[in-house]
Structure 1
Amino acid sequence: MTNERNKLTVIPDFFNESLSRNPDRNVFYENKGGKWVSMTYREAADRIELIAFGLRRLGLTKGDRVAIQSENRSEWTLTDYACAHFGYVSVAVYPTLLAPQIQFILQDSETSAVIVSTREQAEKIISIKKSLPSLKSMVVMDDEPFDEKWIISFRELLDMGREQKKDSGTTLVEEGKKIMKDDLWTLIYTSGTTGNPKGVMLTHYNLVSDVTSTFDIVKFERGCRWLSFLPLSHSFERAASHLTFWLGSEIYIAEDILKVPEYLKIARPHYLVSVPRLYEKIFAKITNQIHDAPATKQKIFSWASRVGREAASKYLVKGKNPSGMLGIQYGIAKKLVFKKIQDAFGGELRFCVSGGAPLPKEIGEFFAAAGIIILEGFGLTETSPVTNVNLPDDIRFGKVGPTISCCEMRIADDGEILFKGSNIMKGYWNNPEATAEAIDEDGWFHTGDIGMVDEDGFLKITDRKKNLIVTSGGKNIAPANIENLLGQSPYIDQIVVIGDRRNYLVAVIVPAQDVIEKWAQEKGFTEPYEEILKKKELKDLIGEDIATRQTALARYEQIKKFLLIPDAFTISSGELTPSLKIKRKVVEEGYKKEIESLYKENNMNGLM
């Protein structure tokens, strides 16, 4: 296997190896109008070739940028492979982004062609077309009619590909052989702590070295079933898509994350890649059901949980099955309790991988007890993305595992985690200043995360050096942008947006006291200021104003609930720096109890 690794340097190598092994195996399964439709590896190869030649017919050449703006569907991955073979640089665009956000990405990348999924996505592009001088063509995956000549359907693109192939005298495989390991593969835009998002430049070998090094640790089996549901615009799912294709897997595609519970039972996946939010939701559902269950069932569940945790800590996290009396007890616990949980994942799951955000330790332990093993890992878009992952036979909850072989890690004097290796990005597109800030002169990438390493090389993330919020759904959010926007409200004096490792954003708000007191006087309220802040009428007023202002934000960037506090943040209170910057951690700690209340299900105050 080591010799095979040395042959893999570019993405077409993944493609060729898999195609030679599995030409007649099904690769994709998709739900089309209620009917599951499959596609073989050979059929996928034919489609990829036509897409690549079709884009060439549109005038694209090596190095041109092609944006992909779509929900998960086979065309996403097929287009990605087409671009990789012909040297077009794919630009990943979340379909949930609003038109102004898309405009920045397409302008900054100077995208030549964009491939979208639906009419709804196409309308976003049409609305900003005048601001995109480099954009020449748009391809719509759905067979939708458009009057404008620069817009064609996916079917028309394939037809153009057939004609171009006849005239070319070359093939997909031959074109793929021209790709070099350091050629730019993709641009993935990720939000920083301030300002506009930055385009992460990843090369072919960035991805190939990362995927193969991850495989060396995790050792997924070939030819297994996977369920794809994280957005392919996300670097984690994107890397997984190439890994699963290379392994000759059968990939069931969930076009909507809401379909996941249903599709888990249909796909019966052997492996699952997810952000913590999925596990959190399932955990919450189970615990709520147990809370409402009769006392007898609660006792059985409690007993099974104790047995499961013992079995997990002594055996399961080491890749072994429990034996002796514990093995007998665990067998009973599986039949009475855990089999239902395992069936919810399809019943044939070997293990899951979690990344994109921290996995709560108690959730990892709970699922391990139920026989659902979750390997937590760590990485960033800039690292292609994996740097660390737990071992199937050595799982340590609360830690993200040792470093994979393609990169090395060190902890700086201030505790920041640094990486160097073949999976580290080439830099930020058109942004040498940001690149120099992220990668030092010795080639070390500065993550902005604080951590520590145990005696066995397992990394534990202890803090965030930067203010970037990473939600439990794996979304990267720059709070300063949101605070600057909402801070323009006449009712808001100071604001801190919170949501790291959470499933939605909330805000701690210091209202503009003079404005609020004037409003209260007009309403005839005579209570003290602190009591005025508790009134529903005021919360509704500020909530409506916030809702209006944040319509320009993506849904996951919008705050859902907020807390009004009477005292302003000051230097003397320790909440402001001498340069008048808010100390987020001080605020979060000072209002910890109140913030926690905003995340309770029965607290309906806010914008939900």
Structure 2
Amino acid sequence: MSDAQTLIENRPPSVAALFLERVAATPDAEAYRYPVPNPAGEGPDEWKSLTWGQAAERVYAIAAGLIELGVQPEQRVALASSTRIEWILVDLGIMCAGAATTTIYPQTNADESAFILSDSESRVLIAEDAAQVAKAVEKREELPALTHVVVIDPAGVETSDWILTLDELQKRGAARLEKEGELVRKRVEAITKDQLATLIYTSGTTGRPKGVRLPHDNWAYMAKAIPATGLVGPEDVQYLWLPLAHVFGKVLTSGQIEVGHVTAVDGRVDKIIENLPVVQPTYMAAVPRIFEKVYNGVAAKARAGGAAKYKIFQWAAGVAREYAKVSQDNFRRTGTASVPFGLGAKHKVADALVYSKLREAFGGKLRACVSGSVALAPEIGYFFAGAGIHILEGYGLTESSAASFVNPGEAYRTGTVGKPVPGCEVRIADDGEILLRGPGIMEGYHGLPEKTAEVLEPDGWFHTGDIGELSPDGYLRITDRKKDLFKTSGGKYIAPTEIEGSFKAVCPFVSNILVHGADRNFCTALIALDEPAIMGWAEENGLGGKSYAEVVAAPETVAMIDGYVKRLNEGLQRWQTIKKFRLLPRDLDVEHGEITPSLKLKRPVVEREYAHLIEEMYEGTREA
């Protein structure tokens, strides 16, 4: 048995137990960094730190405060907040009280928030601010189990017996700990591995969200399995901005506790570019949309610098892709990432002109990025790889505690999600579906035994709903969601996400694209454009001063995008080609329910909303 396997098999029953071990081992080491906005609203934020010991003081006070409110082991405490230091401290406090966290995205509307609070029978809601509290107040009569609301930022909130502040909760907890110093330790020691730790509601692309039951053992396994991949070490600095309500964000907190490295926490997406040079992370996780935005932004900046500058960028992008493909291929065959002398010389010039500036924008110390949630277009992956920003794609689901596969360091392969993490088994079913088994797999869907039985076999194999291929040496490539695959009226199967990803690599102006064609005789696409990129282009092409909707509707814009669609079609099979497309009057967003908070496309919603545009594209055509 390998050292990694031994570590994983000898894991403690909970991350709460791991947290106590971490605090005892390195109480004075830095654990977290977080921003404190400038009170005047001008100038950069001030970043503060918490040691493991300081974090523990707050975590234990929160845990004891929840116990004081009457929260029992396995009872649910809901957390509706954006990613911030308090999210982590509260989640750890809930776990150390032996309770279970129900996560709610802050963007979730009042009806769906009420559904989650009711379905989970949450006893306490920890709400970020007045807006989150208002949702609970509006639906209070529908939530008889909810005994208290605790608010993190109390501005504009009237407190009462039912609503108290996080500061008050911590004070109550600290007072309780003065009388019962071992209260939290005893709760943690009583936690069993099968006890419920987290209830995460899948944002889902169809229907009501389902509560995924993840016991403490899932997170303890993840805490050991992630470091066992060699992905992180004690000297790392992680920049964590992903939604912690999503399993991908949450899993990153478990591995950190095991390793003890520093995590800088700030969920404000609009601050990422500003924060990177300040935080100077050595690694961070992101979703493909962020890399696409960076790529589009760099291309737009080069284009704004004039024809010569844009030509240099396009040349450098081509060199980066070629360099990454050749070096990865050579590494696979020989174990060394060597490239021919001529390509190496071109790469050196391109590095001085383009890549080095890109790396500086990421803080200059980035060793690797982990990308997950949806597939990254390989051409974008190769661009960043060639520029020295190594994107290690990974794969997992809420139902598998997020991290089932990840690309291994130097041996990573763009276009694949890597190899299984230690302890995770995989097999491909006859129809191409990926099946997983291991300690990361959920207990089941909350209160939905029939739905659980549909995806979880009695012997532990979980049906992911994704289609994929395994290479002879164990690298997994995801080709599509099983339910997203469609057949044209001519009987040809189409994997839309593959075409959509290819278009994102070809066109620097796209934000979202949906390929349609089920039971039709050809494929069409709905395309939403990236606002900053297209508005920059509009300024340079005689459309300055027009609104986004006007720019998108302009014949010049349609003609320009048509050029990119033609370029996409050159690399596709005849039956996959996009024959017609329509540009959407606005980008798709979470607020309109068209994408999930983890930035996955909700196909049925988009197809329903823009059905008139889809029908328009097929008007007058003969359906076979």
Name the TM-score class by shorter chain: 0.7 to 0.9
Please list, as runs of the form range in 1=range in 2, the aligned pairs for 1:516-535 lying within 5 A after superposition. Answer: none
Letter in 1 for 2:16: P
Q: Which residue number in structure 1 is paired with residue 34 of structure 2?
A: 30
Distance between the aligned counterparts of 1:347 and 1:358, measured in 2?
Answer: 26
Sort the Cα spacing of 1:301 and 1:100 in 2 relative to 1 into closer, same or farther, 3 A.
same
CA displacement at 1:416 relative to structure 2:
1.1
Distance between the aligned counterparts of 1:448 and 1:121, measured in 2?
Answer: 33
Q: Which residue number in structure 2 is paired with residue 388 of structure 1?
A: 405
8 Å CA contact 1:210–1:406 kept in 2: the answer is no
Which residue among 105, 109, 115 is the counterpart of 1:98?
Answer: 109
Q: Which residue number in structure 1 is paired with residue 218 of structure 2?
A: 206
CA displacement at 1:14 relative to structure 2:
2.6
SS in 1 for 2:350: helix
Alpha-carbon displacement from aligned partner over 1:498-554 (angstroms, at most 9, x marks no partner)? 8899999xxxxxxxxxxxxxxxxxxxxxxxxxxxxxxxxxxxxx999x99x969998
Distance between the aligned counterparts of 1:147 and 1:193, measured in 2?
Answer: 37
Please list, as runs of the form range in 1=range in 2, the aligned pairs for 1:102-501 lying within 5 A after superposition. Answer: 102-144=113-155, 145-192=157-204, 194-315=206-327, 318=331, 325=341, 327=344, 329-467=346-484
Sort the Cα spacing of 1:54 and 1:499 in 2 relative to 1 into closer, same or farther, 3 A.
farther
8 Å CA contact 1:271–1:352 kept in 2: the answer is yes
Letter in 2 for 1:457: G
CA RMSD of aligned residues (A): 3.5
8 Å CA contact 1:98–1:552 kept in 2: the answer is no
Distance between the aligned counterparts of 1:81 and 1:301, measured in 2?
Answer: 46
SS in 2 for 1:284: helix
SS in 2 for 1:422: coil
Runs of 4+ with deviation above 6 angstroms: 468-473, 496-504, 551-558, 567-570
Q: List gaps (5 residues or longer) in structure 1.
A: 474-478, 480-495, 505-541, 575-608
Letter in 2 for 1:111: S
CA displacement at 1:391 relative to structure 2:
1.3
8 Å CA contact 2:7–2:224 kept in 1: the answer is no
Distance between the aligned counterparts of 1:31 and 1:232, measured in 2?
Answer: 17
Alpha-carbon displacement from aligned partner over 1:143-186 (angstroms, at most 9, x marks no partner)? 34514311000110011101211233514334312211111110
Sort the Cα spacing of 1:361 and 1:37 in 2 relative to 1 into closer, same or farther, 3 A.
same
Letter in 2 for 1:236: F
Sort the Cα spacing of 1:361 and 1:138 in 2 relative to 1 into closer, same or farther, 3 A.
same
Letter in 2 for 1:114: L
Letter in 2 for 1:338: Y
Distance between the aligned counterparts of 2:318 and 2:617, measured in 1?
Answer: 46
Alpha-carbon displacement from aligned partner over 1:434-459 (angstroms, at most 9, x marks no partner)? 10111123221111111111111111
Distance between the aligned counterparts of 1:567 and 1:350, measured in 2?
Answer: 46
Sort the Cα spacing of 1:415 and 1:7 in 2 relative to 1 into closer, same or farther, 3 A.
closer
Sort the Cα spacing of 1:235 and 1:347 in 2 relative to 1 into closer, same or farther, 3 A.
same
8 Å CA contact 1:308–1:370 kept in 2: the answer is yes
Sort the Cα spacing of 1:567 and 1:303 in 2 relative to 1 into closer, same or farther, 3 A.
closer
Distance between the aligned counterparts of 2:618 and 2:327, measured in 1?
Answer: 53
**Across the two proteins, how many residue pairs are aligned to each other?**
515
CA displacement at 1:312 relative to structure 2:
2.5
Sort the Cα spacing of 1:550 and 1:226 in 2 relative to 1 into closer, same or farther, 3 A.
closer
Distance between the aligned counterparts of 1:202 and 1:8, measured in 2?
Answer: 16
8 Å CA contact 1:48–1:81 kept in 2: the answer is yes
8 Å CA contact 1:400–1:458 kept in 2: the answer is yes
Q: List gaps (5 residues or longer) in structure 2.
A: 39-45, 486-495, 505-513, 515-522, 532-583
CA displacement at 1:52 relative to structure 2:
0.3
Sort the Cα spacing of 1:194 and 1:312 in 2 relative to 1 into closer, same or farther, 3 A.
closer
SS in 2 for 1:565: helix
Q: Which residue number in structure 1 is paired with residue 535 of structure 2?
A: none
Letter in 2 for 1:212: K
| TM superposition score normalised by structure 1 | 0.77
Distance between the aligned counterparts of 1:366 and 1:212, measured in 2?
Answer: 32
Distance between the aligned counterparts of 1:449 and 1:339, measured in 2?
Answer: 37
Sort the Cα spacing of 1:280 and 1:561 in 2 relative to 1 into closer, same or farther, 3 A.
farther
Q: Which residue number in structure 2 is paired with residue 539 of structure 1?
A: none
Distance between the aligned counterparts of 1:358 and 1:113, measured in 2?
Answer: 36
8 Å CA contact 1:342–1:349 kept in 2: the answer is yes
In percent, how many aligned pairs have the same letter? 36
8 Å CA contact 2:223–2:256 kept in 1: the answer is no
Distance between the aligned counterparts of 1:148 and 1:553, measured in 2?
Answer: 36
Sort the Cα spacing of 1:54 and 1:126 in 2 relative to 1 into closer, same or farther, 3 A.
same
Distance between the aligned counterparts of 1:264 and 1:500, measured in 2?
Answer: 30
Letter in 1 for 2:108: L
Q: Which shows bigger deviation, 349-358 or 142-151?
A: 142-151
Letter in 2 for 1:117: E
Distance between the aligned counterparts of 1:301 and 1:449, measured in 2?
Answer: 36
2:31 is aligned with 1:18:
no
